[in-house]
Amino acid sequence: MHGLLLRLGWRWLLVVLGTLALPGAAQAQASISGEVRDSLTQAPLAFASVFLANTTRGATTDAQGRFTLPNVPAGSYDVVCSYLGYRLARRGVQVGAAPVTVQLRPAPLSQQLAGVVVRPHRNRPEDYQRFVELFVGTTAFSGQCRIRNPDGVRVDFDPGSGELTAEAYDYLQVDNAALGYRIRFYGLHFQINFREQVQSYYAWPVFEELPTKSAARRARWAANRLTAYRGSLPHFLRSVRTGQLTEEGFVANRLRRVPNPRWVRADSLLSLERQRHAGEVWHPADSLLQRLREPPQYAYLYTRPLPADSLRRPSADGHALLLRFRDLVQVTYLREPPDPAYALPHRVGEPAARPEQQVSVLHLLLPAIAITPTGQLLDPLAVFTEGYWGFERIGELLPVDYEPPADGGVGRAGKKE
């Protein structure tokens, strides 16, 4: 399952991106085959879409409902089936050296829907546009992303709760002309609460190469994919796993944050001041909180760079490499400037600061979590990211089976155009 949890605020942006894990040895390969049948009648379902979530691998069932996905690298996968009029069917599989067989049994939608004509839901233009901006993003690559079936998503906003939700009837298709991918997000559920400033989405995405006969376009896609990969969280995690942080252009530093007690006291006094001014015209500028020009937290950055061994350790059985560290980790990527659209969080009315480097902060919510060879986490919801990694969205989304060129491809990162 692919999930995103986003926390928004004027001070900083908090993001965690969950992706499918591929922990197996990259050299081993095997096929995944099986059948898709109606869960009630057991009738075969022809022309059903079967895919490995978050990858470029997929197939269509034949007249007998059978499918085969050949040459799948070893690892853990979600095999997902989509069929019109049926609920998504999903099976988790572990691929090794031997072929894998899986049976998928999609359940038909409620019989109450039989004979009912479902008319498109008319989204309010302002609600739909807000969803697009939050889901797709505002990076240079996101600007080249287009939702091809806008009527396939229902967007609702509840002013009472301050919550915006979006759900896809079948899938939401996004064509990324910057990276050359067509992405279908099956089972999409998107939600943001503006009062609590928390955003999340869950889906099973499948990637497909956009068709082209242009060698120049394919070269541009390859360069842009390398740009999207370089400095990303998967790139960083792969570098931690291989112990090549410096060689790959990363600098990691320990970061501590502690609450500011003066801010807590000011916040309490502000509450009392509001009570005193109940029923009167109250000016926040007169409050102690507004006069106190201090952050709610103090940050302590340790200047000594962290080696990879301080961020990882082997598991007890020796079969996995675990991500683990104290406090927080600030990660700076040195070999690529930030996206031109990126700016540091700032107060309304103040000029936006344009950083010269990609700087992110990594929060670990568990004592340790396994890193896979592809730079994924076995439990993707075990981390939050903040800063530049929180800024990147669908425009930079790569399948987990993406591999950068062994020779660096285009040498430098591709131009964002």
249 plus 379 within the same structural domain:
yes
Hey, what are 367's tokens? 């004592």
175 plus 210 within the same structural domain:
yes
166 plus 277 within the same structural domain:
no
250 plus 140 within the same structural domain:
no
In the predicted model, is pLDDT for residue 249 greater than 50? yes
243 plus 328 within the same structural domain:
yes
| Calpha distance 417→397 (Å, rounded) | 16
262 or 329: which carries more pLDDT confidence? 329
157 plus 101 within the same structural domain:
no
Domain boundary among 160, 187, 216: 216
Task: Please state the rounded mean pLDDT for residues 126-148.
Answer: 93
Q: Which of 9-13, 70-74, 170-174, 363-367 has the lowest mean pLDDT?
A: 9-13
CATH of the domain at 51: 2.60.40.1120
Is residue 41 in some structural domain? yes
289 or 44: which carries more pLDDT confidence? 44
pLDDT digits (tens, 9 = 90+) for 301-313: 999 999 999 999 9
- 246: closest CA among 302, 304, 306, 303? 306
Segment 335-339 long-range contacts (CB within 8 Å, at least 24 positions apart): 335/230, 335/231, 335/249, 335/413, 336/227, 336/230, 336/231, 336/249, 336/413, 338/388, 339/139, 339/140, 339/141, 339/391, 339/392, 339/416
Residue 103 confidence (pLDDT): 95
Domain boundary among 163, 190, 216: 216
276 or 375: which carries more pLDDT confidence? 375
Hey, what are 81's tokens? 């089936």
pLDDT digits (tens, 9 = 90+) for 38-59: 999 999 999 999 999 888 999 9
**How many structural domains compose the chain?**
4
Q: Which of 160-174, 255-269, 286-300 has the lowest mean pLDDT?
A: 286-300
Q: Which of 161-165, 185-189, 290-294, 300-304 has the lowest mean pLDDT?
A: 290-294
Is residue 239 in some structural domain? yes
Is residue 15 in some structural domain? no
Residue 213 confidence (pLDDT): 94
Residue 329 confidence (pLDDT): 96
- Mean of per-residue pLDDT scores for the chain: 81
351 plus 366 within the same structural domain:
yes
334 plus 248 within the same structural domain:
yes
Task: Please state the rounded mean pLDDT for residues 139-160.
Answer: 93
135 plus 196 within the same structural domain:
yes
pLDDT digits (tens, 9 = 90+) for 181-214: 999 998 888 888 887 766 777 888 999 999 999 9
Is residue 225 in some structural domain? no
Domain boundary among 151, 186, 216: 216
Task: Please state the rounded mean pLDDT for residues 244-270.
Answer: 79
Residue 22 confidence (pLDDT): 42
CB 251 within 8 A of CB 331: yes
CB 415 within 8 A of CB 230: no
Is residue 197 in some structural domain? yes
199 plus 322 within the same structural domain:
no
Is residue 83 in some structural domain? yes
Residue 65 confidence (pLDDT): 95
Please enumerate in sequence order all residues whose Cβ is within 8 A of that of 352, keeping only pairs 6 or more positions apart, or say none.
343, 344, 346
Q: Which domain holds residue 138?
A: 125-216
Strands 75-82, 49-52: pairing is: antiparallel
84 plus 132 within the same structural domain:
no
144 plus 290 within the same structural domain:
no
Is residue 311 in some structural domain? yes
pLDDT digits (tens, 9 = 90+) for 333-357: 999 999 988 987 655 566 667 789 9
Task: Please state the rounded mean pLDDT for residues 70-99.
Answer: 88
Is residue 375 in some structural domain? yes
Residue 16 confidence (pLDDT): 35
- 257: closest CA among 285, 298, 224? 298
